[in-house]
Structure 1
Amino acid sequence: MDNRGLTPIISKALSISIVVLYIGILTAVLYGSVIPEYRTATANEVSDRTLATAAERVQQAVPPPTRHIDARFGLELPATIRDQAYSLQAANRSLVLNHPHPNIGGRVPLVLPRTVIGIEGKWQSHETLIVRVVGKDSRYIINLNSENNE
């Protein structure tokens, strides 16, 4: 029996199997560990920038001493971080970013003058953030609200 005609076919089939196996292993490694870690690291950077931008805008919203003020400032922030909604919350003269992923989030203290007697409120990322400053006789309160909650 002469099987010499099958040798090139078997050789090509083995070569294709090795390439498919290599691509499968490479894909499993990338999607199993490297890509999710990269997405989390990138999302952490985005959350830090978002928190810094929000804190900067809240600090800039405080006016110079005046008799009476009721001002609103809008702020554009990302709608999602790592494809998930998040929230900003005021707590103890700080802004806290809460995210469903355990490795994403943060807290930044606000540098506010003594005329600010409080900061309060919570904002969800799927709505427009409104920073509202209300005050009388140089005593101000800062509220974080969503555009729909005004």
Structure 2
Amino acid sequence: MRRRGRALRRPGRLRTERALSPVVGKSLELGVVVLFVAVLSASFYGGIVPEYRTTAAAEAGDRALVGGAERVERAVPERPGRIERRVAVSLPATLRGDPYRIRAASDPEANATALVLDHPDVGVGGRVRLSFPTRGANVTGTWESASDSWVVVRGGSERVSVSLENGRGDSDGRDGGRS
């Protein structure tokens, strides 16, 4: 009878050892999945996502820069005469999560002025040359993205002064040139 007792105990012990196999297998599968997700997340947030954000911000910056240049060029009338005009300019508040600025920069050698986008991220920026076909214009100033932006044009028949300004519009109703 002892043999029977031993025979009965032995298969029972094997059953408990075999019961651990599915648990160990599932734990290993879970470990592999967690490792895969960790590697995938690290590659996205370490390389792919920041590059995409910079590329998207550079595209949006180019559009803001070209749109700003268009507003400046349209604010200067073609016909000579006395002018005082204030035109609103719409800019995105941030690019890639950071505020930026657009400034006027003159190039004395080319006798031209350009708008330059300055951003903390090196991958975001740009420069666009302004063109005034009928008369010259002296462009100065800076737009900060975090505030309202305006093009202010003043001048006479010969030369026009264009200023890039920030802040609220005039309360005296001089925003007639606003579009």
> What TM-score does the superposition give when structure 1 sets the normalisation length?
0.94
Q: Which residue of 1 aligns with 2:135?
A: 115
Per-residue deviation, residues 44-73 of structure 1 (Å, max 9, x unmatched): 101111111001111111113343111000
In 2 relative to 1, CA 116–149 (structure 1 residues): closer, same or farther, beyond 3 Å? farther
Q: Is the 8 A contact 1:66 1:138 kept in 2?
A: yes
Q: How many residues align?
A: 150
2:54 matches 1:34: no
CA distance in 1, matches of 2:87, 2:169: 14
Aligned residue identity for 2:160: Y
Q: Which residue of 1 aligns with 2:144?
A: 124
- Structure with greater Cα Rg: 2
Q: Give 1:43 deviation, angstroms.
A: 0.7
Aligned residue identity for 1:94: A
Q: Is the 8 A contact 2:78 2:135 kept in 1?
A: no
Aligned residue identity for 2:147: E
2:30 matches 1:16: yes
2:160 matches 1:140: yes
Tell me, what secondary structure is at the counterpart of 2:116? strand
Q: Give 1:99 deviation, angstroms.
A: 0.3
115-124 or 21-30: bigger deviation: 115-124
Q: Give 1:115 deviation, angstroms.
A: 2.3
CA distance in 1, matches of 2:151, 2:128: 16
Aligned-residue CA RMSD in angstroms? Answer: 1.5
> What TM-score does the superposition give when structure 2 sets the normalisation length?
0.79
5+ residue gaps, structure 2: 1-12, 107-112, 171-179
Per-residue deviation, residues 127-150 of structure 1 (Å, max 9, x unmatched): 111000000224211000002597
Q: Which residue of 1 aligns with 2:70?
A: 56
Equivalent runs, 1:42-81 vs 2, <5 Å: 42-81=56-95
Tell me, what secondary structure is at the counterpart of 1:115? coil
Q: Is the 8 A contact 1:68 1:138 kept in 2?
A: no
5+ residue gaps, structure 1: none
Tell me, what secondary structure is at the counterpart of 2:62? helix
In 2 relative to 1, CA 35–50 (structure 1 residues): closer, same or farther, beyond 3 Å? same
Q: Is the 8 A contact 1:59 1:111 kept in 2?
A: yes
CA distance in 2, matches of 1:40, 1:120: 28
Higher strand share: 1
CA distance in 2, matches of 1:129, 1:102: 24
Q: Is the 8 A contact 1:116 1:142 kept in 2?
A: no
